[in-house]
Amino acid sequence: MKNTTTKKWIISLSMVAILPACVTINIYFPAAAAEKAADKIIDEVWQLKQGQDAPADKPVEPTPADAPTDAPAK
């Protein structure tokens, strides 16, 4: 009886020791977290804010004023 109890304890202890170790080694790519992070960055870059459907850039034809400033100027 006493023997089995000790055995059980040894097994459980070793599991406790091994389980986290296993997971620490196998860090998989956290897809959901990555999507959340990507969304946050895209919202910032495209300046998309909740409850504000029309962002700064309306669909307009490019005009010289919109044109990149680093075009050959002279």
Partner 1 sequence: MLLRAIFACLLALAQNAFAVSTISISADTITNDNAVVRSANILVDLKAQTTYTIKAQHIQYDKLEARNANVFLDYRGKPTLTFDTDLKQSSDKAWAKAQMHCLVPANLMQEVWQCNDGKFTAERINLPFALEVTPQPKGFAANINLQSANFSDEAGLHAAEKLTGHLTVVAKQEGDTLHFNSALNWQSGEVFWQPLYFANGGHELQAAGSLKGDILTLDNATLKLDKVGDLKFSGQVDTKTFKIQKLNADLPNLNLAEAYPLLFKPFLGKTMLNNAELDGKAALNVSVVDSQIKTFKISLKDANIDDKNHKFAFYNVNADIPWSYDAATKVSFSYNNGQLLNMPLGRTNIGAEVNRYSLVSPSIELPILDGAFKLSDISAAYINDNWYWHLRAALTPVSMPDASRAFKLPTMQGKASAEIPLVTYSGGILTTDGEMVLNVFDGTATVSQLTMQNPLGDSPKLSADLVLRNLDMGSLTRTFSFGAIEGKLDGDVLGLELLNWKPVKMDAKLQSSPGNYLKKISQRAVENISSLGGAGAAAAVQRSVLRFFKEFNYEKMGLSCILRNNVCEMSGIESTPGGYVIVKGSGIPAITVLGYNQTVGWSELVDRIKRVIEGNTKLIVK
Partner 2 sequence: MKKFLLSLLVIVSIFTANWVAAAADLEVNTPAISALKASMQARHSQLGPFYSSGAVGLTKDAFIAIKDATAVPLKDRGGFNSLVSAENADRTNLYKEIATANGHPEWQGDIQNTFAGRWIDKAQSGWFYQSGGGWVKK
Residue from 49, 43, 58, 74 nearest 66 by CA: 58
DSSP state of 66: T
Find all residues with CB under 8 Å of 42, minimum gap 6, and list them.
48
Of residues 4-33, which lie at the interface with partner 2 (CB under 8 A)? 5, 8, 12-13, 15-16, 19-20, 22-24, 27-31, 33
What is the smallest separation between the CB atom of 60 and partner 1, expressed in angstroms? 19
Mark 50-69 with x for binding to partner 2 (rule: CB under 8 A) and - for no binding.
-----xxxxxxxx-x-xxxx
Which residues of the chain form contacts with partner 1 (CB under 8 A)?
Answer: 70-74
